Amino acid sequence: MTDKVGAVVAGAGVIGLACARALALRGIETVILEAESAFGTQTSSRNSEVIHAGLYYPAGSLKARLCVDGRRLLYGFCQRHGVAHHRCGKLVVATASGQEERLEAIARQARDNGVEELALLGAAQARALESQLAAHAALLSPVTGIVNSHGLMLALLGEAQARGAVLALNSPLLRAETRAGGFRIEVGGEEPMRLDCELLVNSAGLHAAALAAKIDGLEKRHVPQLRYARGNYFSLSGRAPFSRLVYPLPEPGGLGVHLTLDLGGQARFGPDVEWLETIDYAVDARRAAVFEEAVRSYWPALPEGALQPAYSGIRPKLSGPGELAADFLVQAPAAHGVAGLVNLFGIESPGLTACLALADHVCAGLGLP
């Protein structure tokens, strides 16, 4: 016998859980399929947990729009649901003379994106906020923050389940067949099953392209190649004398080695970028020397040997080394012609910040109010 539900969401990371919540809130019976033994074990739990303001993304891009809208929604959601978070603010620093124009360009871009409360600071103003900061100038973003990503996912899942959604762990989606009025889903695991559904959201993150290739009826030209970019993080032995996040000016391919804080005030540094062929979360302790050199450009007093390997995360990127950063790809029926299907490709940073707005965007792509 084949069970029938309104929607299946493949992938129980923060985006999949937000989509499941959005569907459930619209009265749609939803099943979340997760191949792992717990939710949020990959990209969603291996990041810096920053609530981004929306500074860097091209105006009008999905990343810009959904980050700014998502940030506003996320702060409200965290307050209502008791999710631990802190609006600590961030400084983007010019560490050398002549970089002030680049800071001003970032400020213009951010304002075009709708980012609020920005302030360009001189060296003395920046040091007045963070006394050990080395900066010729800085851009202050007071609306940037940090969040407990696990607590956020618990709250998203809890609200989805309260509206009838079901989470099935150890349940990989093996194949989907398009049919009149929806899909037939084959689910693996210890208790294989079949599900018929009207709507299917592919939110499998690192595995989204591989999963899309298993959807019978989706033309292969709509399945992009995803590249894996590993970001390594190092932690600090002891506490850093900073109360805000500190970012250097962006570099080609990333935002550089920045200082972030967890909700306990512990500092961590990263990510750098390594391109991989396969998923591998190992952190090479020998990279500490590169991290120390980068960090001392804005924190000269970093103690010798104070950095130690912490963890790594892998981003599913649509652009490769040396290529311009790609936007989110939210592939709805209007793009690929398969009714009821949304594929989410290249959902990296600022996906955590954008999760609630992204879920509403998915619903709009499915024609749901």
- Check residue 250 and give its pLDDT: 85
- Check residue 253 and give its pLDDT: 60
Q: For each successive 10 residues of the chain (369 residues), what is the average pLDDT? A: 91 98 98 98 95 96 98 98 98 94 96 98 98 97 98 98 98 96 95 95 98 97 97 92 95 79 94 93 94 96 95 96 94 98 97 98 97
Task: Please spell the DSSP secondary structure of 174-197, one letter per residue.
Answer: EEEEEETTEEEEEE-SSS-EEEEE
Encode 311-335 in three state secondary structure.
EEEEEEECCCCCCCCCCCEEECHHH
- Check residue 238 and give its pLDDT: 86
Contact between 358 and 70 under an 8 Å Cβ cutoff? The reply is: yes
- Check residue 252 and give its pLDDT: 63
Stated pTM of the model: 0.96
Contacts of 253 (CB under 8 A, 6+ apart): 273, 321, 322
Q: Quick one: CA dihedral 216, 217, 220, 225, positive or negative?
A: negative
83 Rama sector, left if φ>0, alpha if ψ -120 to 50, beta otherwise: beta
- Check residue 254 and give its pLDDT: 66
Contact between 49 and 78 under an 8 Å Cβ cutoff? The reply is: no
Report how far apart, in Å, the C-alpha atoms of 347 and of each of 70, 275, 283, 320, 366 are: 14, 17, 23, 14, 18
Contact between 334 and 344 under an 8 Å Cβ cutoff? The reply is: no
Domains, the chain, with CATH or none: 3-46+150-225+325-365 (3.50.50.60), 88-144+226-317 (3.30.9.10)
| Pair of tokens at residue 243 | 């109360």
Quickly tell me which residue has 């290739």 as its tokens. Answer: 213
Residues 349 and 334: their CA atoms lie apart, in Å, by 25
Helix, strand, or coil (residue 31): strand
Task: Please spell the DSSP secondary structure of 236-267, one letter per residue.
Answer: ESS--S-SSEEEE--BTTB--SEEEE-TTS-E
Beta-carbon neighbour count of residue 321 at 10 Å? 11
Residues 42 and 106: their CA atoms lie apart, in Å, by 30
Helix, strand, or coil (residue 156): helix
User: What is the rounded end-to-end Cα distance, in angstroms, of the chain?
Assistant: 32
Where b means 16+ CB within 10 Å and e means fewer, 238-251 reads eebebebbbbbbbe
Residues 149 and 355: their CA atoms lie apart, in Å, by 11
